[in-house]
Amino acid sequence: MRFILCLTLLMFSMSPLFAAEKAQLRGIKGKDDRILIEKNKYPWTAIGRLNKEIGGFCTGTLVAPKLVLTAAHCLWNKKRKVWLKPHTIHFLAGYRRGSFIEHSIGTKFHIPSGYDPKKGQRLSVASKDWAFIELKADMSKKVGTIPISAVDQALFRSLTRGKTRFIQAGYSQDKAHILSVNNDCKMKGYNKQYNVIKHGCDAVHGDSGSPIFYNDKGTYKIAYTHVATTKKGTSEGIGVSGISFSTHLKNIGLWKQVVTARRPK
């Protein structure tokens, strides 16, 4: 089963990307600062590739024992203009060159009301471009979880004033079979109306849903999730702030789970 799954996920990524690799992809801001993660260590183990049975992939992070954070547009079927079925989404934690630590399919989506993937990349749309996937299996003991920090504008300012180092990690389209990481992303601004940020992480297609996190006294915490890259002018990344998720998670009774860090055992 694992062998078949590996072959399948490899086929998901076999698209004509070679021409794109010759030119710098939009989303790479100047020098490409991404590094490749060759070893399965926490927190990288809690980050995984999110494969779709129709083809294509995004990035997701295990934030609670059976809950993955990603971008909402990753769960949308553009061709048919319908939401994908949860069981057609496969989360592969610690995916690296055809192998992975744990695998589970989705059982339920949590998508914010009012999010419409047909309305483009306006900030009002991007602010709701987040989703949680409930998984069939609990893999937290093997891969750990990265908790969410309810970052608002005040905390954003405090973190940036304190020169906090932000890390982004995802499965980029040109490095589809290994996790690539920005070890020091610059946060460029916070939009209070929509609770979104602009950032300077090198993030391209495939990085959608990837976490942007920081180390708070030894505990990694997700501050934002990457959802888009601006299409005009200077390339800038767009991330949704953790405060946007908190109300929903409190309403479904999962907030206490997503603010608790779990390291692999």
- What are the tens digits of pLDDT across the range 193-225? 999 999 999 999 999 999 999 999 999 999 999
DSSP string, 202-234: ---TT-TT-EEEEEETTEEEEEEEEEEE-SSSS
Q: Which tokens in the block code for residue 220? A: 């990694």
Query: Residue 58 belongs to what domain range?
Result: 2-16+40-143
| Whether residue 168 sits in one domain with residue 110 | no
Residues 237 and 116 in one domain: no
Give the mean model confidence (pLDDT) for residues 32-49. Answer: 96
Cα 105 to Cα 204: distance, rounded to the nearest angstrom? 25
64 and 112 belong to one structural domain: yes
Q: How confident is the model at residue 18 (pLDDT cuts 50, 70, 90)?
A: very low
**Per-residue pLDDT at 5 exceeds 90:** no
Q: Is the pLDDT of residue 31 over 90?
A: no
Give, as one character, the DSSP assignment of residue 46.
G
**Which of 143, 162, 180 marks a domain boundary?**
143
- Tell me, yes or no, whether 55 lies in a domain: yes
Inside any domain, residue 261: no
- Among residues 121, 143, 165, the one where a domain terminates is 143
For 109, residues 6+ apart whose C-beta sits below 8 A from its C-beta are 75, 83, 86, 131, 132, 133, 134
User: Is 80 exceeded by the pLDDT of residue 256?
Assistant: yes
Q: Which of 191, 199, 196 is nearest to 234 (CA)?
A: 199
pLDDT-derived band at 191 (thresholds 50, 70, 90) equals very high
Q: Are residues 110 and 12 in the same domain?
A: yes
Q: Can you give the pLDDT at residue 23? A: 60
Q: How far apart are CA 262 and CA 219, in angstroms?
A: 10
* The last residue of a domain, from among 111, 143, 175: 143
- Number of folded domains that form the chain: 2
Do 12 and 121 fall within a single domain?
yes
199's enclosing H/E stretch is strand 196-199
Is residue 50 assigned to a domain?
A: yes
- Does one domain contain both 179 and 224? yes
| pLDDT band for position 15 (cuts 50, 70, 90) | very low
Domain assignment present for residue 206? The answer is yes
User: Does the residue 54 lie in any domain?
Assistant: yes
Q: Are residues 232 and 171 in the same domain?
A: yes
* Residue 163 sits in the same domain as residue 191: yes
Give the up-direction half-sphere exposure of residue 246: CA atoms within 13 A in the CB hemisphere: 14
Same domain? 236 vs 129: no
Distance CA 217, CA 143 (A): 21
203 and 86 in a common domain: no
Q: Are residues 127 and 49 in the same domain?
A: yes
In a domain, 26, yes or no: no
Which range has the worst mean pLDDT, 116-120, 164-168, 205-209? 116-120
Average pLDDT of the chain, as a whole number? 91
| 160/115 same-domain check | no
**31 located within any domain:** no
Q: Does any domain span residue 212?
A: yes
Which residue in 77, 109, 116 sits closest to 91, CA to CA?
Answer: 109
Query: For position 189, which CATH number holds?
Result: 2.40.10.10
